[in-house]
Amino acid sequence: MQEVLVAWEQVLQVLAHATLQQQSLVFASVQVLGYAIYMRTAKDPHPLTWIMLAYGTAVWSLLAWANGTEMHVLYLPIACAVCSLYIAARCWHRGTWRWPEGFVEWFSFGGDIALTIAYVGAGLALWVGEITPDQRENANFVFLWGSNLTTFTSMAPLITEARKNPETERSTAWVIWFLAYLGMTYSTYQEEGFALAILFYPVVNVIIHGAVAYYVAPRERQNT
């Protein structure tokens, strides 16, 4: 863990003179590094969380882009969506896939699908002249907030699992992701200002990934 923090300090020193585009690319690369470590060390990845995370993050990225967010701000969530989809595919291949269980899981899974349908529907309504471009823009903003809120529920199964069975996770990847989202929070604020609809996503992920690392790390210390 100490090595991760030392390496992160060195990264920040390098980024002190980098552009926002370069910073975003580095933070996305750190995110991918976290996934590489996770896939090598995780004992039993929670398959539903990863497919929900992949789909939900892809939806959020699309809605954020539709609301005018600069593409480089989306480097990290796009990397997250692609890597999460790969983990979910590995779970499917290993036969550990399962469908949502319980209200929270179905709510999150269904919520992201509903947002996709609503987004496509708004586009069709604009195309046939049923709504104005301004109305479509307002609808996209509402959809973006909806996608923000499903971030909580999509990670709920994994956080619950980490609390009950922390031995199924390893903290290193979660600390790396925590730091990557912390960096995204900084670069997003620099680019977008205090735009809550966009800034909400990295801040929530800082909290979520930090929480998983918090639950897992004590068990690792006990086992050393």
pLDDT at 12: 65
The domain total for the chain is 1
Contact between residue 204 and residue 181 where contact means Cβ atoms under 8 Å apart: no
Residue 104 clears pLDDT 70, i.e. is over it: no
Please give the residue that has the higher pLDDT: either 9 or 183: 183
Burial of 103 from C-beta contacts in 10 A (0-12 / 13-18 / 19+): exposed
Residue 181 clears pLDDT 90, i.e. is over it: yes
In a domain, 125, yes or no: yes
Q: Which is nearest to 63 in space by CA: 136, 152, 154, 143?
A: 143
What count of other Cβ atoms lies within 10 Å of the Cβ of residue 204? 17
pLDDT at 177: 92
In a domain, 14, yes or no: no
Please give the residue that has the higher pLDDT: either 67 or 180: 180
Contact between residue 205 and residue 151 where contact means Cβ atoms under 8 Å apart: yes
Structural domain range at position 116: 20-223
Contact between residue 76 and residue 27 where contact means Cβ atoms under 8 Å apart: yes
In a domain, 89, yes or no: yes
In a domain, 9, yes or no: no
72 CA to centre of own chain: 15
In a domain, 86, yes or no: yes
